[in-house]
Amino acid sequence: MNIIAVIAEELGIKAWQAENAARLLDEGNTIPFIARYRKEATGELDETAIRSIAEKLSYYRSLEERKQEVLRLIDEQGKLTEELKEAVLKAAKLQEVEDLYRPYRQKRRTRATIAEEKGLGPLADLIWQQELTDGELDAVFKPYVQPEKGVESLAEAQAGALDIIAQRIADDPKIRALVRSISEKKGFLTSRCRLEPDPSGNLPISKYELYYDFSQELSSIPSHRVLAINRGEKEEVLKAAVAVPQDEIVEAIKGEVISTPHSIFQPLLAEACRDAYQRLLAPSIERELRNQLTERAEAQAIQVFSANLRQLLLQPPVQSKRVMAIDPAYRTGCKVAVLNEQGDVLDTFTIYPHAPQERWEEAREQLLSKIEEHSVELIAIGNGTASRETEVLAAQVIAASKKELHYLIVNEAGASVYSASELAREELPDLDVSMRGAVSIGRRLQDPLAELVKIEPGSIGVGQYQHDVNQKRLRESLQAVVESCVNYVGVELNTASPALLQYVAGISKTLAQRIVEYRQKEGPFNDRRQLLNIRGLGEKTFTQCAGFLRIRDAANPLDNTPVHPESYHLAEAILELAQVPLSALADRDGLFHLREGLTKLKAEEVARKLDAGLPTVRDIIAALLQPGRDPREELPKPLFRQDVLKLEDLEDGMVLSGTVTNVVDFGAFVDIGVGRDGLVHISKMSQSYISHPLEVVSVGDVVQVEVLDVDLERNRISLSLLT
């Protein structure tokens, strides 16, 4: 198999692109580095394409290794024919290889192997060949009745031979593929309630009621339903199965097995076909199909989670604002932390506005006093327990304050995980666990990416059934998203935490710690190449990470841009063509002349004149036009509020602004400021057909919605997206 050709065809790219990307990966280059700094080699493939190439390389290389292993195992049994060898080598999927190997796999003792031990193999061969068209079956079976071998009667001889044939049918790769194909095309996933009804005959109410009597085609069932049924089955509320047209499948098997309709063995072979399907093939193929459905559903859930996480991490930072962060609670009080513009802690205290203390007025006055004392501009409230009541308090404080104040709700998922971590203890050693949570909420607002990387991605809570999917695969996918976001934004070398640095291309957790220790001991970096002074960080690692690290006040202004050190000579040549000095990059007054000079350049002409790659030249010009730019600044800012709505305030037809908090397969949840997210179903998102909500909205989007229905009893809000 030509792996590169197969990958290129599957991804719809040129073979040379796949080959170069594979070579760069094999040389130890990271995916962000290849995507950003090796565009000429890959034909400008993005991270998603390169990651797909890496995954497919791993799969197909494992497939080739398995093929060789299977050929060796069959050869050791002396059963490897040229035809079988060719079939194994041609197989394009692991399933095909395993089907071919199945008849030769070492088996535990089965009815078929026991029959073989009794000497009934030749009888099975005779029946299988179907050459006899007349005669008595008893006469055929009589020579195989051998009590000394354990065959006491004609019936036992017949049963044993049919067991061998049934196993042979079940192991046949062509028949397995046929059964699998019919089952996939015509099968249904069904589920029933396992719980006992009450005396009135009613089944218990549960979140799985939709699946108490459920059936949907395997080919069209959405991923979230598969995962819901799996969870219901795991919790022993549901019983799931795959329903297929059994008679049709048995007839199809007969069509493959019975070649001589007039053979005296035809009824026996028909019996063996049904037994092979019902006893051996059906359970095996059902397991395969359920696993296949689950894998597909998990892949979809992980993809949605990853897309949501990316949008959450890339939320624009709220910079240059003093923030009062409140971690709400009832009995233990609301923890409050005041942070300066850089996220440093200025003050911490606890208020008790809610039950059982109910010191509302005291809390209100204390907040007003601290807002005035520290010139607070924004209030960030965690969305956990007592969030709604604390939101009402914040609205009253804003109304009573003489300052221009706003509040907003911050998703605090994972804040408790961070608060109790070793990293939190190192960063905030003088604060207790609960107060660290308030600091984390405030910093999430000021720089979501820098704060959220401190938390295990799976704990951030923007997914769908994240606890039901393959945790290893989920973790790998989410780590890749974090790595991609960190490198897309870039990292300030002199302020980044070890938690942030470890996601920079090429930098390990150990190296991240050493970078911070070096910075603390030697002072701030003023040159990217100082990184080479760090133990364990050599030229290869430097090449991978340097372009993603920024130094704001570096000796060389290029160190504060995404331009890679290997291309500094090109950047300087481009500046020369633009008739702008390098110093203009660090000079506020010089930026106007810098941009004026660069915008006159044509990238194609520059690339030709400097004998450089066009993608690299384009990227350098873009980087020079906006030195030190944070790409997140171009995204819409979060929605700030001053007053609070109640669920009871909502009316059908009301139009409101809201923030998308989560996107799932069936729609999107939107925070409209009433303490309960509303659901925009996928059918209410667009007037034209869309296959997934992610085509229309992303986490963090500020959207206009219309209230369709408010169910106060069930605490549900139905919304429609206005475009």
Least confident of 526-540, 577-591, 634-648: 634-648
661: domain CATH number is 2.40.50.140
Confidence of residue 77 (pLDDT cuts 50, 70, 90): very high
Give yes or no: residues 123 and 253 share one domain: yes
Question: 452 lies in a domain?
Answer: no
pTM, 2 dp: 0.85
Question: 702 lies in a domain?
Answer: yes
| Mean pLDDT for the stretch of residues 660-666 | 91
- Contact present, 131 and 262 (Cβ < 8 Å): no
Give yes or no: residues 539 and 568 share one domain: no
| Mean pLDDT for the stretch of residues 507-519 | 96
**pLDDT at residue 219 greater than cutoff 90:** yes
Give yes or no: residues 139 and 222 share one domain: yes
Give yes or no: residues 100 and 117 share one domain: no
**pLDDT at residue 193 greater than cutoff 80:** yes
Question: 260 lies in a domain?
Answer: yes
pLDDT value, residue 411:
87
Give yes or no: residues 230 and 364 share one domain: no
- Contact present, 310 and 233 (Cβ < 8 Å): no
**pLDDT at residue 488 greater than cutoff 80:** yes
Please give the residue range of the domain that contains residue 194. 111-301
Give yes or no: residues 338 and 297 share one domain: no
Give yes or no: residues 287 and 380 share one domain: no
Question: 505 lies in a domain?
Answer: yes
| Mean pLDDT for the stretch of residues 409-423 | 88
Question: 314 lies in a domain?
Answer: no
**pLDDT at residue 624 greater than cutoff 80:** yes
378: domain CATH number is 3.30.420.140
pLDDT tens digits, one per residue of 343-371: 999 999 999 999 999 999 999 999 999 99
Residue ending a domain, choose from 627, 659, 678? 627
The rounded mean pLDDT for the chain is 93
Question: 402 lies in a domain?
Answer: yes
Question: 187 lies in a domain?
Answer: yes
**pLDDT at residue 292 greater than cutoff 90:** yes
- Grouping H, G, I as helix, E, B as strand and the rest as coil, residue 408 is strand
Report the number of distinct structural domains present in the chain: 6
Question: 465 lies in a domain?
Answer: no
Give yes or no: residues 497 and 512 share one domain: yes
- Grouping H, G, I as helix, E, B as strand and the rest as coil, residue 6 is helix
pLDDT value, residue 415:
85
Give yes or no: residues 706 and 662 share one domain: yes
Q: What is the DSSP string of 593-633?
A: HHHHHHHT--HHHHHHHHT--HHHHHHHHHHHHSTT--GGG
Question: Which pairs count as long-range contacts for 182-185, CB under 8 Å and 24+ apart, including other chains?
Answer: 182/244, 182/245, 182/248, 182/249, 182/252, 183/218, 183/242, 183/244, 183/249, 183/285, 183/286, 183/289, 184/218, 184/219, 184/289, 185/219
Give yes or no: residues 194 and 257 share one domain: yes
Give yes or no: residues 243 and 290 share one domain: yes
